[in-house]
Amino acid sequence: MTYDDIRRCAELSVRRGCGFALMAIVTAMVGFSGEPWIAIRSGAVFVLIAALILFWRGWRARARDYRHTEVWLMIEDSPALPRERLQAMIGGALAEVYFSHARLAAYVALAMAIIGLTIGRPSHPG
């Protein structure tokens, strides 16, 4: 088991969670689809919340016990390494992946916010 294998497992784990979050965000946006400006702005807020959660998870990843992670469950052959080394490898891989996904989610939230502000609220004749 190499660090690249652990990183791939970490990516799969984080992307799976992001997929479920994305499904919830899209569902909420579809619910607001009658008012597109509300849908896109609420989507931007939800994606920003997801980015903050991913950042927080990345911040705590190195300290979280590696045996309580999905990555540890995904590893088929338990490597014969000291606990400290496994903690550093799995925690480090998870932190990298969480931070990269948080950065991507922040960019998406920014783009959605810009689009939401350019769409603007439609004016209704009074």
- Residue 3, helix vs strand vs coil: helix
Supply the pTM of this predicted model.
0.89
Residue 65: φ, ψ to 5°: -60, 120
In the chain, the amino acid numbered 97 is: V
pLDDT recorded at residue 81: 84
Tens of each residue's pLDDT in the chain, 126 residues: 788 999 999 999 999 999 999 999 999 999 999 999 999 999 999 999 999 999 999 999 999 999 999 999 998 777 778 889 999 999 999 999 999 999 999 999 999 999 999 987 776 665
- Measured CA to CA, the distance from residue 68 to residue 20 in angstroms comes to 20
Largest CA distance in the chain: 73
Helical spans, DSSP H, in 32-125: 36-61, 70-74, 83-119
- Measured CA to CA, the distance from residue 116 to residue 42 in angstroms comes to 9
Alpha-carbon dihedral 5, 9, 15, 20, rounded to 10 degrees: 170
